[in-house]
A and B are shown apart, each in its own frame.
Chain A
Amino acid sequence: MISAIYNFALTTGANRVIKGARIEHVCGDPTLSPEKDYAFGMRIVTRALETLTTAVAGPTLFDPMTPGTTPEADHAS
């Protein structure tokens, strides 16, 4: 799940949660130039796809701005 209000997603049990940009523009940022907006959106989407190839034990947050194989462990309590 890609969401800008990712804490809701985590506490309500979504297992793979990706930080979106903002509620009004989850996959991108219209304040950037069209090229940078697209690149930013692509980063979010590719990160989201990566999470689908990653095993998780429970609700886990992934940040598109810190790519890597180790997700931020954020098991919502």
Chain B
Amino acid sequence: MSSPLRVVHYVNQFFGGIGGEDQAHVGVTVRAGAVGPGRALETALGEGARVEATIVCGDNFASEQAEDAARTIGDELDRLKPDVLVAGPAFGSGRYGLACALACKVAQSRGVAAITAMHSENPGASSARREIYIVPTGTSTTSMPAALAALAPLARRLGRGETLGPAELEGYLGRGVRRVHDRGRPGYQRALDMLLDKLHGRPYRSEVPYAAPERVPPAPPIADLSRARIAMVTTGGLVRKGNPDKQVSANAVRYHRHEVAELESLSPSDWEAYHAGYFNHLVNSNPNYILPLSFLRDLERHGRIGKVHEHIYALPGVSTPVAVSAGHGRNIAADLKAGGVDGALLVAT
């Protein structure tokens, strides 16, 4: 019979029983044995595993004095020498999630296996999921039993020095790790099997992960266009002639904002397109095809719209990862909002 598994548990000031937000500043302390959710964790870990100690740290301390916290947690782990560190679960709590991620990274840097649990959109998960094992949970403590039930068996195995299998089978958040392995049947056979399953209405599972596009609630309609400030955005790669701002032609790492307050329309002698995803020659003869300034000026003159916004936004919308594009979109939208814009026309090539 092997020796019992030695577990150290990391929790914040709240779960450590010190207090709520008013105690979030407290530094790192260590209690013998299990505290708070650690008792349920110990039960979930089952026979042959014991929570030797609980490291407690205030969430503000862990985020504001991360280096101090990391050093002290590291020292305690060196002293306690556990088989595995379990942190959290942190659920939807952002600072706690970051602290759990920090504790896991410290443990791993000292050769101690570590695992935590939190909601997949917790900042701790989005920032550290590639480096540590994170079991997804709900956003609130009501999912504690399920979280511990999922966390405990993985913690046991990590503590025993086992390597976990793929994220989708084991149930932790994918770390973006690809490993070469043999699926038994070559790709063309699997693809045809999948196609036959699809045609026969049988269940099948794609080997290509699919991330459903984000749904954004539609903006409410503009009540009166004749008083509205309208902006223009293009993904057609509009640049000043000669591309002095050095826009790339694909995979935009940034967007470009240009001033058009003095312009009646976009002249082909001053503007052109630089975009690797379509033939640019027609836009180069009339840039208003992708940024309809001439039309909006006309409508502005006739009082159909209130005002043409003085800035336009441009980038080449091609070969750009969705996450990067979403970031550009959010930043442009924030800029438009700050500029008092009521509505925007986005021309996509």
Interface residues, chain A, CB within 8 Å of chain B?
Answer: 1-5, 9, 11-16, 20, 23-28, 30, 38, 41-42, 44-46, 48-49, 52-58
Interface residues, chain B, CB within 8 Å of chain A?
Answer: 213-216, 218-223, 225, 228, 230, 236, 278-283, 285-286, 288-290, 292, 294-296, 298-299, 304-305, 342-343, 345-349
Cα A54 to Cα B349 in complex, Å, equals 24
Q: Which of A30, A42, A57 contacts B298 (CB 8 A)?
A: A42
Q: A42-B295, A49-B304 are in contact. Are A1 and B346 (CB under 8 A)?
A: yes
A26 touches B345 (CB 8 A): no
- Chain B residues in 8 Å Cβ range of A4: 349
A55 touches B220 (CB 8 A): yes
B218 touches A56 (CB 8 A): yes
User: 10 closest pairs, A vs B, by CB?
Assistant: A15-B218, A52-B343, A3-B348, A45-B295, A25-B289, A13-B213, A12-B213, A1-B346, A24-B282, A27-B292
Cα A45 to Cα B345 in complex, Å, equals 8
B282 touches A57 (CB 8 A): no
Q: Which of B216, B223, B281, B289 contacts A13 (CB 8 A)?
A: B216
- State the total of A-B contacts with C-beta under 8 angstroms: 104
Q: In the complex, how many angstroms separate the beta carbon of A26 from the nearest chain B beta carbon?
A: 5
- Chain A residues in 8 Å Cβ range of B347: 1-3, 20, 26-27
Smallest CB gap from A43: residue in B? B295
Q: A42-B298, A55-B220 are in contact. List 8 more A-B contacts (CB 8 A).
A: A1-B346, A3-B348, A4-B349, A5-B348, A9-B348, A11-B213, A15-B216, A44-B292
Interface of A is mostly: loop
Q: A24-B282, A25-B283 are in contact. Are A49 and B345 (CB under 8 A)?
A: yes
Cα A16 to Cα B281 in complex, Å, equals 28
- Chain B residues in 8 Å Cβ range of A14: 346
A2 touches B346 (CB 8 A): yes
Q: Which of B285, B294, B305, B349 contacts A49 (CB 8 A)?
A: B305
Q: In the complex, how many angstroms separate the beta carbon of A75 from the nearest chain B beta carbon?
A: 11
A-B contact pairs, 12 of them (CB 8 A): A2-B346, A14-B346, A23-B349, A24-B278, A24-B283, A24-B289, A27-B288, A27-B289, A30-B285, A42-B298, A44-B292, A46-B295
B295 touches A27 (CB 8 A): yes
Q: In the complex, how many angstroms separate the beta carbon of B189 from the nearest chain A beta carbon?
A: 29
Q: Which of A23, A41, A58 contacts B295 (CB 8 A)?
A: A41
A41 touches B348 (CB 8 A): no
B218 touches A58 (CB 8 A): yes
A26 touches B236 (CB 8 A): yes
A57 touches B218 (CB 8 A): yes
B286 touches A24 (CB 8 A): no
Q: A15-B216, A24-B283, A41-B288 are in contact. Are A52 and B221 (CB under 8 A)?
A: yes
Smallest CB gap from A5: residue in B? B348
- Chain B residues in 8 Å Cβ range of A11: 213
- Chain A residues in 8 Å Cβ range of B228: 52
- Chain A residues in 8 Å Cβ range of B304: 46, 49
- Chain A residues in 8 Å Cβ range of B346: 1-2, 14
Cα A1 to Cα B221 in complex, Å, equals 14
- Chain A residues in 8 Å Cβ range of B296: 45
Q: In the complex, how many angstroms separate the beta carbon of A16 from the nearest chain B beta carbon?
A: 7
Q: In the complex, how many angstroms separate the beta carbon of B346 from the nearest chain A beta carbon?
A: 5
